[in-house]
């Protein structure tokens, strides 16, 4: 398949849809990591902050994904605001990619599909960083 033939707005929409798919993995995290038990020893405020930070992360991913799906033509046009949105997107996923490198997830990768999912997420984070970085700098 020749990827250079894919219209840029369609590629942006596809990347946005993939970002929204990340939310499926996000929804599995509290159960897979047994947050209820793992966080039980923390003070109530710390448990609440944990959920608040998670909600902010979900909202950021949701926003970036929706922008890509709903405003792909504008992002492809490459105006100043489009470049800024794409730059924020690249920074967001670039930071997440760096965090992936230092997180100790191995004890939780107890099934083949968890390991495969972890590596797939890493590839997606890299792809988002490169793609949106390219959109911001072109």
Q: pTM of the predicted model, to two decimals?
A: 0.91
pLDDT tens for each residue of 45-74: 999 998 999 999 999 999 999 999 999 999
Q: Are 125 and 91 in contact (CB under 8 A)?
A: no
Q: How far apart are CA 69 and CA 83, in angstroms?
A: 16
């Amino acid at each position: 398949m020749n990827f250079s033939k894919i219209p840029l707005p369609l590629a942006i929409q596809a990347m946005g849809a993939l970002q929204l798919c990340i939310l499926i993995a996000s929804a599995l995290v509290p159960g897979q990591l047994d947050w209820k038990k793992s966080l039980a020893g923390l003070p109530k405020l710390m448990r609440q902050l944990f959920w608040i930070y998670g909600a902010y992360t979900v909202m950021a991913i949701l926003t970036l994904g929706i922008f890509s799906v709903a405003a792909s033509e504008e992002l492809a046009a490459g105006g100043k605001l489009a470049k800024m949105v794409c730059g924020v997107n690249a920074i967001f996923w670039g930071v997440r990619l760096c965090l992936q490198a230092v997180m100790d997830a191995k004890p939780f990768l107890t099934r083949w599909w968890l390991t495969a999912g972890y590596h797939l997420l890493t590839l997606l984070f890299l792809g988002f960083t490169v793609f949106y970085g390219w959109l911001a700098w072109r």
